[in-house]
């Protein structure tokens, strides 16, 4: 028997009308072209188990984005289980539905453990993500990729077909502690595509100082990452780092300030290189005003 945790269904207006799967305020899987997006309503089967329709359920250490852009809202179903520090996240998501050929989709799962010892919180876990029906398909087999004319860093052959499938194994962790009442977090994420013979790995390491909560509070986050061309399916990775996709490396610095209840002002600086073999400089300054309710 299912018990709804929240009866409210919220809608947000998308400020753009293209179909990007991982750009802020844009959704590839929306309501049949509508500019509105449904926020998922969690459904609990028991106290520790939740079904989450239409949301990526996977744990990201200190909200880092090595595998997933934070704004990704795919079409599918996700399951989360949490009890006694142990957690499991699973999901089934459509990448492309086709009437005359097999659909492309994603099956993913994570298993992890969180605990607190002497006021130090630690999380460690692993994940496996299996993209079905990618290798041998061309950009034209995916509506969004055809429109963009871009594989977002993933390797294509001379006929613009994907050279690899993407079966990604992930290892992640983070630890949070306090120094003179100041919260400090250290985190890492590592991914390896078991289907690629080369350019198959990516990693991210970083730290965060303080946290925003009350007006006047602040936080600072830094990470360095390096992601090879076929480490992950580039369409779903961070859309801000190197301009989106894979095959790059560099730094991200982010400062946030709580200007009022529910309102946060953030500034990010990306100092990156696009292309690991013959890198070109990529610099981006991004300012966000966020409202949470």
Burial class (CB in 10 A: 0-12, 13-18, 19+), 233: buried
Query: How does pLDDT run across 209-266, given as a tens digit for each residue?
Result: 999 999 999 999 999 999 999 999 999 999 999 999 999 999 999 999 999 999 999 9
Residue-wise pLDDT tens digits, 62-96: 999 999 998 888 888 888 999 999 999 999 999 99
Banded pLDDT at 57 (limits 50, 70, 90): confident
pLDDT(118) > 80: yes
Q: Give the Cα-Cα-Cα angle 271, 182, 286 (nearest 5 degrees).
A: 25
pLDDT value at residue 147: 87
Q: Is the pLDDT of residue 19 over 90?
A: no
Q: What is the pLDDT of residue 211?
A: 95
pLDDT at 7: 32
Q: Can you tell me the distance from the alpha carbon of 58 to that of 108, in angstroms, rounded to the nearest whole number?
A: 9
Checking if the pLDDT of 42 tops 70, the result is: no
pLDDT digits (tens, 9 = 90+) for 188-203: 999 999 999 999 999 9
Whether 50 shows a pLDDT value over 90: the answer reads: no
Q: Examine the pLDDT at 1 and tell me if it is beyond 70.
A: no
Tokens of 79: 């399951």
| CA separation for the pair 80, 44 (Å, rounded) | 9
State both tokens at 133: 């029906």
The rounded distance, in Å, linking the Cα atoms of 66 and 246 is 9
Q: Kindly indicate the confidence band of residue 34, based on its pLDDT and cuts at 50, 70 and 90.
A: very low
Q: What percent of the chain lies above the pLDDT cut of 90?
A: 71
Q: What does the pLDDT read at residue 244?
A: 95
In this model, does residue 22 exceed pLDDT 60? no
Residue 153: exposure state from Cβ atoms within 10 A (0-12, 13-18, ≥19)? buried
Question: Rounded to whole angstroms, how far apart are CA atoms 156 and 4?
Answer: 44
Class of the domain covering 3-291: mainly beta
Q: What is the DSSP string of 190-225?
A: EEEETT-SSS-EEEEEEEEE----STT-EEEEEEEE
pLDDT tens profile 137-150:
999 999 989 888 89
The HSE-up count of residue 41 (CA atoms within 13 Å, CB side) is 11
Domain boundaries, the chain: 3-291
Determine the distance from the C-alpha atom of residue 132 to the mean position of all C-alpha atoms in its chain, rounded to a whole number.
19
pLDDT tens digits along 153-173: 999 999 999 999 999 999 999
Q: In whole numbers, what is the pLDDT of the chain averaged over residues?
A: 85
At 49 the pLDDT is 66
pLDDT at position 56 is 82
Average pLDDT over residues 28-45: 43
Kindly state the tokens that stand for 189: 């994420």
Which phi and psi angles does 225 have, rounded to 5°?
A: -140, 155
- Do the Cβ atoms of 131 and 104 come closer than 8 Å? yes
pTM, two decimals, is: 0.84
d(CA 72, CA 30): 11
Contact 194, 201 (CB under 8 A): no
Quote the pLDDT of residue 47. Answer: 53
* Higher pLDDT among residues 48 and 63, named by residue: 63
Q: In terms of pLDDT, which residue wins out, 33 or 86?
A: 86
Decide if pLDDT at 13 tops 70.
Answer: no
Across 24-46, b (16+ Cβ under 10 Å) vs e yields eebbbbbeeeeeebbebbeeeee
């Amino acid at each position: 028997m299912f018990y709804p945790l929240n009866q409210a269904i919220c809608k947000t207006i998308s400020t753009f009308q293209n179909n990007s799967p991982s750009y802020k305020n844009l959704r590839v899987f929306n309501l049949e072209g509508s500019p509105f997006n449904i926020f998922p309503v969690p459904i609990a089967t028991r106290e520790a188990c939740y079904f989450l329709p239409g949301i990526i359920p996977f744990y990201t250490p200190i909200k880092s984005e090595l595998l997933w852009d934070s704004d990704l809202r795919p079409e599918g179903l996700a399951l989360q289980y949490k009890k006694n520090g142990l957690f499991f996240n699973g999901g089934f998501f459509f990448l492309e539905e086709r009437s005359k050929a097999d659909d492309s989709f994603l099956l993913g799962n994570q298993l992890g453990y969180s605990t607190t010892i002497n006021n130090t919180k630690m999380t460690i876990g692993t994940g496996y993500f299996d993209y079905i029906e990618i290798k041998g398909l061309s950009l034209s087999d995916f509506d969004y990729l055809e429109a963009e004319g871009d594989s977002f860093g993933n390797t294509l052959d001379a006929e613009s077909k994907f050279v690899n499938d993407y079966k990604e194994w992930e290892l992640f962790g983070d630890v949070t502690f306090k120094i003179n009442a100041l919260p400090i977090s250290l985190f890492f994420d590592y991914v390896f595509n078991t289907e690629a013979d080369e350019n198959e790995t990516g990693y991210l390491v970083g730290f965060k100082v303080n946290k925003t909560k009350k007006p006047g509070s602040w936080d600072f986050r830094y990470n360095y990452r390096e992601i090879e061309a076929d480490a992950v399916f580039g369409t779903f990775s961070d859309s801000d780092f190197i301009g989106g996709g894979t095959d790059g490396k560099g730094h991200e610095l982010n400062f946030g300030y709580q200007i009022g209840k529910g309102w946060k002002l953030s500034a990010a600086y990306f100092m990156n290189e696009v292309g690991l073999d013959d890198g070109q400089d990529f610099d981006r300054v991004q300012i966000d005003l966020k409202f949470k309710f």
